[in-house]
Amino acid sequence: MAKRIEASNVSSYYGSFKAIDSVSMVVEPKTITALIGPSGCGKSTFLRSINRMHEVLPNARIEGSLTIDDQNIYDPDVDVTAVRRLIGMVFQRPNPFPTMSIYENVVAGLKLNGVKKKSVLDDAAEQSLKSANLWNEVKDRLGRPGAGLSGGQQQRLCIARTIAVEPQVVLMDEPCSALDPISTLAIEDLMFKLKDRFTIIIVTHNMQQAARVSDKTGFFSIDKTGDPGRLIEYDDTQKIFSNPTEKKTEDYITGRFG
Amino acid sequence: MGDNPSRSENATAGDLGVTGRHARGAGTGVSPSSYEEPPFGGGGALPKKTRFGMEAGFKGLSVAAGAMVLVIIVAIAVFLISKAVPAINADTENFLTFNQWFPNETQPRFGIAVLAFGTVLTSIIALLVAVPIALGIALFLSHYAPKRLATPLGFVIDLLAAVPSVVFGLWGRDVFMEPVRNFSAWLNEYFGWIPIFGGDGPFGRSVLLGSLVLAIMVLPIVTSLSREVFMQTPGMNEEAALALGATKWEMVRTAVLPYGKPGVIAAVMLGLGRALGETIALALTLGVVFNISFNIIENGGNSIAANIANAFGEANETGRGALIASGLVLFAITLVVNMAARAIIYRRREFRDSAA
């Protein structure tokens, strides 16, 4: 179920603007990797490069190579929609489809993939909602609008929607930044549970969160505004937070970084 | 009593160049009477509320504006009914079912059936033609066209909405009729077995011509409103669909179209309103025949508004009353259409409201 992501010398551009410079990292299957760093340092850009979501913006491109189990994600012959099915994504703000019910939201991805059979969809909806720790809260109101849930529930709904299509890798772009601490904990618990099945990469501004949930941590930074972001240090989470090699990492983690 | 002095003490302490904390710590109390202007945060007694200010003024204005809508609607309804009822009473035939229009005779005989049928038929055909094209253009402008192309093209569409309907009518009559006539003959030759394309001519000044001209007139309204609605689709919902592996068209179907549906329905209803009420373009392009027929390519067709424009000049007292009665029917049709649209939008309100 889970696959390995390998980035080597990935540079990402928006038009002529270089957003990240030469990032290399290997993400092992069934681990949680946290990407931390100040705003505008390219963590999200790197994350969106992995499932080619950054291509939604015009003139976006990358240099270097990104592979999933040794297959090139950016191979010109690869279907970009297939990449995104393989590598799911959860966004910063919960974004359930406002016109759809809870049930319809969860099975939206499956329907896009041509699954029509009601029994299959029902099963998948129940399994995904259970995996997302949301089933007990919504099982009696699956036909109600997804946007009517609380923020934390909506985010878990979005996670259920993402894992319903059974991706190999789940990317999370600051999934808790719009949530209260209790919902945040619920999502973190969920991440531990999902780790058995998926490779998870999470961008977060919350360093306690990175320390709590992740196996490995990558620290991104920029020298000054307008410069491309770089991966400063990438190591076991424990090492990053207790004994980082780089001075910059230590400054950031201890709060001495601007 | 205890609260007010201590608040003003803090507030005025700043004026004296001493911070509130210092003032209190040093015990130099400042009496409430020593300050001249109360600070923004207040101090002293609570101010009285303004009795006649902007607030009350705007409230009055908006209430008046709202009330005016009601007054106008009622005034129109009263006018229509008061003129129509005597004419309908003078009618020697059934107003709703009779197929002819002779209100000016000493024994007035007239009925709305043909006109109402023609009005609804032309409008429906016009919408059937215009709406798919309009939605296609709107989607192209909002999601497919590069911005450099979308902006001028959108402007041209808006320009089309500004063309006066009499110009459309003249153009339809003098220029567009010829190709429509040829097209009708072609349809008649190959699809004559379908009743709507049957008959043996003459073709040209037909329901088809009137409907197509109407379609062109309705197109810009539906297009620009739909485009606005489509462009308001939250970017994060589009991204959600794309991240699930949707192609662009699947994204449009999953995120854009459902989100825009109420707005599109409203746009179509506005277009339908224009089509139903259109007068001069239809008066110039329809064949003006009093006959209920589903044949859309033979000369013929009529509509309530076009009939009013054609017949008003020669109408006597009863004739004008009869025309006003037909106007009342048009009013009723439009009302029903609008209420139906509201009902459609209302049914899904739960989803729309929680989306905000």
Q: Chain A: give the shortest CA distance to residue B205, in Å.
A: 44
Average pLDDT over chain A, rounded to an integer: 89
Comparing alpha-carbon positions, the chain B residue that sits nearest to A57 is B239
Share of chain B above pLDDT 70, in %: 85
Contacts of B149 in chain A (CB under 8 A): none
- Note the Cα B41 to chain centre separation in Å: 47
Cβ–Cβ below 8 Å for A91 and B259: no
Cβ–Cβ below 8 Å for B258 and A113: no
Both B7 and B154 in one domain: the answer is: no
Q: Report yes or no on B193 lying in a domain.
A: yes
Cβ–Cβ below 8 Å for B258 and A91: no
Above 60 in pLDDT, residue A170?
Answer: yes
Of A97, A112, A145, the CB nearest to B237: A97
Q: Chain A: give the shortest CA distance to residue B128, in Å.
A: 25
Q: Chain A: give the shortest CA distance to residue B131, in Å.
A: 22
Both B275 and B148 in one domain: the answer is: yes
Strand A32-36's sheet: what is its strand order?
A87-90, A169-173, A199-203, A32-36, A216-221, A230-236
Comparing alpha-carbon positions, the chain A residue that sits nearest to B350 is A145
Rounded CA separation A81/B242 (Å): 8
Q: Report yes or no on B62 lying in a domain.
A: no
Q: Which two tokens stand for residue B350?
A: 């739960």
Confidence band (pLDDT; 50, 70, 90) for B32? low
Contacts of residue A192, defined as CB under 8 A and 6 or more positions apart, other chains included, come to A213
Segment B19-24 shows an average pLDDT of: 42
Q: Report yes or no on A73 lying in a domain.
A: yes
Both B260 and B177 in one domain: the answer is: yes
Both B35 and B153 in one domain: the answer is: no
Q: Report yes or no on B335 lying in a domain.
A: yes
Segment A182-206 shows an average pLDDT of: 89
Above 90 in pLDDT, residue B44?
Answer: no
Both B117 and B34 in one domain: the answer is: no
Q: Report yes or no on A160 lying in a domain.
A: no
Segment B257-269 shows an average pLDDT of: 89
Q: Chain A: give the shortest CA distance to residue B271, in Å.
A: 24
Please count the CA atoms within 13 angstroms of the CA of B276 that sit on its side-chain side.
Answer: 22
Q: How many residues in total does chain A contain?
A: 258
Q: Report yes or no on A144 lying in a domain.
A: no
Both B40 and B156 in one domain: the answer is: no
Q: Is B258 on the interface with A (CB under 8 A)?
A: yes
Contacts of B244 in chain A (CB under 8 A): 84-85, 88, 108-109, 112, 161-162, 165
Cβ–Cβ below 8 Å for B242 and A53: yes
Rounded CA separation B194/A178 (Å): 60
Q: Report yes or no on A175 lying in a domain.
A: yes
Above 80 in pLDDT, residue A129?
Answer: yes
Comparing alpha-carbon positions, the chain A residue that sits nearest to B252 is A112
Residue pLDDT, tens place only, A232-241: 999 999 999 9
User: Domain containing B240: what range?
Assistant: 90-355
Q: Chain A: give the shortest CA distance to residue B343, in Å.
A: 17
Share of chain A above pLDDT 90, in %: 44
Of B239, B261, B354, the CB nearest to A91: B239
Q: Report yes or no on B61 lying in a domain.
A: no
Segment A21-41 shows an average pLDDT of: 91
Q: Report yes or no on A158 lying in a domain.
A: no
- Nearest alpha-carbon partner for A1 in A106, A78, A92, A88: A88
Q: Report yes or no on A62 lying in a domain.
A: yes
Q: Report yes or no on A67 lying in a domain.
A: yes
Both B1 and B108 in one domain: the answer is: no
Confidence band (pLDDT; 50, 70, 90) for B42? low
Above 90 in pLDDT, residue A102?
Answer: yes
Average pLDDT over chain B, rounded to an integer: 83
Q: Report yes or no on B81 lying in a domain.
A: no
B297-327 burial, b if ≥16 CB within 10 A, otherwise e?
bbbbbbbbbbbbbbbeeebeebbbbbbbbbb
Q: What is the pLDDT of residue B95?
A: 87
Segment B138-162 shows an average pLDDT of: 90
Residue pLDDT, tens place only, B280-300: 888 888 888 888 888 888 888
Segment B153-165 shows an average pLDDT of: 89
Q: Is A81 on the interface with B (CB under 8 A)?
A: yes
Segment A147-156 shows an average pLDDT of: 90
Both B134 and B251 in one domain: the answer is: yes
Q: How many distinct structural domains can be found in chain A? A: 1
Above 60 in pLDDT, residue A257?
Answer: no
Both B173 and B321 in one domain: the answer is: yes
Cβ–Cβ below 8 Å for B246 and A100: no
Q: What is the pLDDT of residue B22?
A: 42
Q: Is B263 on the interface with A (CB under 8 A)?
A: no
Above 50 in pLDDT, residue A6?
Answer: yes
Q: What is the pLDDT of residue B19?
A: 44
Contacts of residue B60, defined as CB under 8 A and 6 or more positions apart, other chains included, come to none
Contacts of A44 in chain B (CB under 8 A): none
Residue pLDDT, tens place only, B201-217: 788 788 899 999 999 99
A190 dihedral zone (left: phi>0; alpha: psi -120 to 50; beta): alpha
CATH number at residue B174: 1.10.3720.10
Both B40 and B94 in one domain: the answer is: no
CATH number at residue A88: 3.40.50.300
Above 60 in pLDDT, residue B96?
Answer: yes
- Note the Cα B151 to chain centre separation in Å: 23
Q: Is A108 on the interface with B (CB under 8 A)?
A: yes
Of A82, A88, A91, the CB nearest to B236: A91
Above 90 in pLDDT, residue A161?
Answer: yes
Both B20 and B98 in one domain: the answer is: no
Above 80 in pLDDT, residue B14?
Answer: no
Q: Report yes or no on A205 lying in a domain.
A: yes
Above 70 in pLDDT, residue A220?
Answer: yes
Which A residues 137-196 touch B at CB under 8 Å?
144-145, 147-148, 158, 161-162, 165
Comparing alpha-carbon positions, the chain B residue that sits nearest to A93 is B236
User: Domain containing A21: what range?
Assistant: 5-95+168-253
Above 70 in pLDDT, residue B37?
Answer: no
A·B CB contacts under 8 A? 83
Cβ–Cβ below 8 Å for A112 and B243: no
Confidence band (pLDDT; 50, 70, 90) for A36? very high
Q: Report yes or no on B347 lying in a domain.
A: yes
Residue pLDDT, tens place only, B301-315: 888 999 998 888 888
Confidence band (pLDDT; 50, 70, 90) for A158? very high
Q: What is the pLDDT of residue B350?
A: 60
Share of chain B above pLDDT 90, in %: 33
Both B213 and B298 in one domain: the answer is: yes
Residue pLDDT, tens place only, B228-257: 999 999 989 999 999 998 999 999 999 999
Q: How many distinct structural domains can be found in chain B? A: 2
